[in-house]
Amino acid sequence: MDKAQTLIAANRGPISFRTAEDGSLEYSRGGGGLVSGMTSVAAEVDSLWVCAALSDDDRRAAAEAPGARIDRVHDLGGMRVHMLDIPERTFAGAYTGIANSTLWFLQHLLYDLPNKPVFGSGFARLWEDYAAYNNAFAEALVSGAAEGARVAVQDYHLALVPQILRSRRPDLRITHFSHTPWAPPEYLRMLPNRVARELLEGMLGADRLGFHSPRWAEAFLRCCSEILGADVDIDRRTVEHGGRVVTVGVHALGADEEGLRTSAAEPEVAQRRGALSQLVGDTRLIVRVDRTELSKNIVRGLESYRELLTLHPEWRGRVTHLAFAYPSRGDVPEYREYTETVLRMAEEINEEFSTPEWTPLVLEVNDDYPRSLASFQLADVLLVNPVRDGMNLVAKEGPLLSERDSVLVLSREAGAADELGEDALLVNPFDTVETAEALHQALSMPDRERRERRERLAEAAVALPPRRWFQEQIRSLG
């Protein structure tokens, strides 16, 4: 097996396995900007994606793959995939304990501070799991990379990988990209001191670091200055630490228009669209599509809809809110509780406002991508109100597929607000009255203004498509 020239490392891989009826394993390709960005350059370079096995079927596939030199390799177009079978306990500590219950909470400012976080003795063991998991990725990259290869490490799961790689393979050129926001130093400092330092120094093992928004890049630089005492230049976005200079770049990922339109042309989308049209009749449509995720602020979004129906009763019977939530991270207790709160709140709203002819809110917690695309096509208003979000691609995909010139009501705390802020209606995600008023303004907006705003949003959404987003980072390595 040839060693790869371009490598990507991300917890979630580009494919996932399932057991077919005859007992054999089959795989399907995942969605998302990273997959389309990487797949589109795969044909040009010898590339390898290192990821973790995430399900029992993935684990079986990882264990059964014929032992090539890099074992457990599966073909995907021109790209190879190395799926790591990480021991379940280690994976749970790293993914659920550190990545999703600690780092995600920190970067999105989700902690309920009077009670959490608590960094007790159990935390040290989780941090060891995280280090072991990062080591497993680094090991696979070390053995899969050609001399001088370029390695693109993704996200908060793999913050320690750049430093490990640098110490073992100084010939490699390494970039790390954070898809989350970055927390201010006063927040990051809540971590045990040694852990905060290891996290920052782990990332600084890269030659270049990337973020979606200048806001997150600046917060990272401030953390390096205040927590590590590094020599930081905020304007030039450089960090000098341990005798090396690391540059920080902003690359705002755009929507994958081609992929999106191909998916939207599938017959299932037309079918869902028909069913949705029937469901909502001639009412106006407010749509939201998210993972069932604490940072997405679904509860305050529903509360804002309740405020709309209270403050502007003229919309009763004339509007329907479709809220589609994908199940997410069920291993984290806070996510399970959050899902229950969302479901309960939806019931309350329907009990309060429903009439025999009108159901104000339809909330579904399940996986149905074609239905999400159909809802983008039909929406009059798209609500994207996260408390904090690295980017948020729904805000970019919605305007591309909209057939009714949907108005975007967007949280100012999403990375996407940097680029879409002029033409979306920006809101403070904590202010449910302001959000309700923005929904009202969106529903009442004259057609021409809706059209002009939607056209500009669609243009801004594809400013940096996934392929170019990925190439920019690889090229920045020289």
Site for ligand G6P, rule CB under 6 A:
12, 155, 179-180, 328-329
Q: Are the C-beta atoms of 319 and 284 separated by less than 8 Å?
A: yes
Closest to ligand G6P by CB, 80 vs 329, is: 329
Closest to ligand G6P by CB, 180 vs 297, is: 180
Number of Cα atoms under 13 Å in the Cβ half of residue 300: 19
Q: How far is the CB of 471 from ligand G6P (least distance, A)?
A: 20
Closest residue to ligand G6P in the complex (CB): 179
Closest to ligand G6P by CB, 175 vs 328, is: 328
Q: Are the C-beta atoms of 79 and 39 separated by less than 8 Å?
A: yes
Q: How far is the CB of 329 from ligand G6P (least distance, A)?
A: 5
For residue 460, CA distances in Å to 368, 415, 452 come to 27, 13, 13
Closest to ligand G6P by CB, 74 vs 329, is: 329
Backbone phi and psi for residue 234, each to the nearest 5 degrees, phi listed first: -65, -40
Q: How far is the CB of 391 from ligand G6P (least distance, A)?
A: 8
Q: How far is the CB of 340 from ligand G6P (least distance, A)?
A: 19
> What gap in Å lies between CA 34 and CA 212, rounded to an integer?
13
Its sign, for the CA torsion 103, 108, 113, 116, is negative
Q: How far is the CB of 416 from ligand G6P (least distance, A)?
A: 13
Q: How far is the CB of 446 from ligand G6P (least distance, A)?
A: 35
Closest to ligand G6P by CB, 51 vs 232, is: 51
| 433 CB-contact burial (10 Å; exposed 0-12 / middle 13-18 / buried 19+) | middle
Phi-psi sector, 208: left (phi>0), alpha (psi -120 to 50), beta: beta
Closest to ligand G6P by CB, 47 vs 392, is: 392
Give first-to-last CA distance, the chain, whole Å: 26
Beta strands in 353-422 (DSSP E): 361-365, 381-384, 407-411
86 by DSSP, 3-state: which?
coil
Closest to ligand G6P by CB, 146 vs 250, is: 250
Task: For residue 389, count other CB atoms closer than 10 A to its CB.
Answer: 30
Selection from 20, 39, 52, 40 nearest residue 80 by Cα: 39
**Tokens 């069913």 found at:** 275
Q: How far is the CB of 286 from ligand G6P (least distance, A)?
A: 24
Q: How far is the CB of 219 from ligand G6P (least distance, A)?
A: 16
The DSSP code for 13 is -
Q: How far is the CB of 386 from ligand G6P (least distance, A)?
A: 11
Closest to ligand G6P by CB, 155 vs 419, is: 155
Selection from 103, 93, 161 nearest residue 130 by Cα: 93
Angle of helix 193-203 relative to helix 161-168, nearest 10 degrees, comes to 60
Q: How far is the CB of 436 from ligand G6P (least distance, A)?
A: 28
| 20 CB-contact burial (10 Å; exposed 0-12 / middle 13-18 / buried 19+) | exposed
Closest to ligand G6P by CB, 222 vs 329, is: 329
Closest to ligand G6P by CB, 144 vs 181, is: 181
For residue 164, CA distances in Å to 51, 169, 177, 224 come to 17, 8, 16, 19
Closest to ligand G6P by CB, 384 vs 425, is: 384
Q: How far is the CB of 113 from ligand G6P (least distance, A)?
A: 23
